């Protein structure tokens, strides 16, 4: 069990991930090994656990991810036996789908996950031709496209939908000179300004969570 522990917490015998079932612990161990072996920037367990809380408590049906890797964040939508209706994963890298397939998803989970190997924008366009609405968007792809991802989500978001933007603050890299390219810096600043705009505040409640380098939650008003 101890291999899933990200921090050494000695003040209590309890641990926030103790609520996971044995099979979920096994799955998470698999994911965390992949994360380490591939040196992949998958979401942390604390963020994933928060996603699970949101998805379950809002009874989210349809989920769309901009940037899914091998499905690490997707694991959390199913924790505690939650079963959404549809989970759309998108990943432009060509080498991760095999890892996704190799994971011990239950059949009922495989049945509702659609893994699209390609650009998230393309998949979103395809969905526009259907009448599906998305209740939960995760924006976790290329950082310089965050604003574009956010605006693209509006076309499909449901009336009670939410959008989660991971790593929105970039560890302050904008204010540390030359840590990111000028183009990326401009995109990050634009996103930040846009999140504070009237256009956003009239349609969404926006909340900033100080998990690591920042999570932003937009919830439809
Ligand atoms: C930070 S990782 C996160 C993956 C996943 N959400 C997780 O927690 O494991 C971001 C991934 O998004 C992918 N990505 C970036 N831009 C994308 C796009 N436009 N369409 C699809 N995937 C994209 C990258 O290749 C990378 O694997």
| pLDDT at residue 176, rounded to an integer | 61
Judging by DSSP bridges, how do beta strands 204-209 and 157-166 pair with one another?
Answer: unpaired
Residue nearest to atom 7 of ligand 1 (CA): 42
pLDDT (0 to 100) of residue 63: 98
Nearest atom within ligand 1 for CA of residue 93: 25
Homologous superfamily of domain range 2-220: Vaccinia Virus protein VP39 (3.40.50.150)
Q: Please give the pLDDT value at position 2.
A: 44
Whether residue 142 has its Cβ less than 6 Å from ligand 1 = yes
CB of 140 sitting under 6 A from ligand 1 = yes
- Distance separating alpha carbons of residues 87 and 73, to the nearest angstrom: 11
pLDDT of residue 172: 55
- Give the rounded distance of the alpha carbon of 92 from its chain centre: 15
Overall pTM > 0.75: yes
Q: Cβ–Cβ contacts within 10 Å for residue 195, how many?
A: 20
- Cβ atoms of residues 17 and 47 within 8 Å: no
- φ/ψ of 66, rounded to 5, equals -90, 100
Q: Could you tell me if the CB of 72 is within 6 A of ligand 1?
A: yes
Dihedral pair phi/psi, residue 167, rounded to 5°: 55, 40
Kindly report, residue by residue over 23-80, the tens digit of the pLDDT: 999 999 999 999 999 999 999 888 999 999 999 999 999 999 999 999 999 999 999 9
Does residue 73's CB lie within 6 angstroms of at least one atom of ligand 1? yes
Ligand 1 atom nearest to CA at 120: 20
Q: How far apart are CA 163 and CA 19, in angstroms?
A: 26
Ranges of the chain with pLDDT below 70: 1-16, 169-180
Taking phi over 0 as left and psi of -120 to 50 as alpha, with beta for the rest, 116 belongs to: beta
Q: Which atom of ligand 1 is nearest to the CA of 40?
A: 2
Tokens of 204: 């969404």
Which residues, 6 or more positions from 28, have their beta carbon under 8 angstroms from its beta carbon? 4, 17, 20, 45, 75
pLDDT of residue 1: 44
Does the beta carbon of 92 lie inside 6 Å of ligand 1? yes
């Amino acid at each position: 069990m101890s291999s899933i522990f990200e921090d050494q917490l000695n003040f209590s015998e309890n641990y926030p991930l103790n609520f996971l079932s044995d099979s979920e612990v096994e799955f998470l161990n698999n994911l965390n090994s992949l994360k380490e072996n591939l040196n992949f920037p998958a979401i942390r367990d604390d963020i994933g656990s928060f996603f699970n809380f949101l998805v379950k408590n809002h009874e989210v049906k349809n989920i769309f991810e901009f940037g899914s890797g091998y499905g690490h964040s997707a694991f959390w939508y199913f924790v505690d036996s939650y079963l959404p209706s549809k989970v759309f994963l998108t990943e432009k890298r060509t080498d991760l789908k095999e890892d996704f397939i190799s994971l011990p998803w239950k059949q009922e989970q495989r049945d509702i996950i659609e893994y699209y190997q390609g650009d998230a924008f393309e998949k979103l366009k395809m969905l526009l031709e259907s009448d599906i609405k998305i209740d939960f968007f995760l924006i976790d792809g290329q950082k310089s496209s965050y604003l574009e991802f956010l605006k693209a989500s509006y076309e499909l978001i449901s009336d009670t939908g939410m959008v989660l933007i991971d790593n929105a603050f970039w560890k302050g890299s904008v204010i540390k000179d030359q840590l990111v390219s000028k183009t990326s810096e401009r995109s990050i600043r634009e996103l930040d300004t846009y999140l504070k705009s009237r256009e956003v505040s009239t349609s969404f409640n926006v909340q900033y969570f100080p998990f690591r380098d920042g999570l932003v939650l937009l919830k439809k008003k």
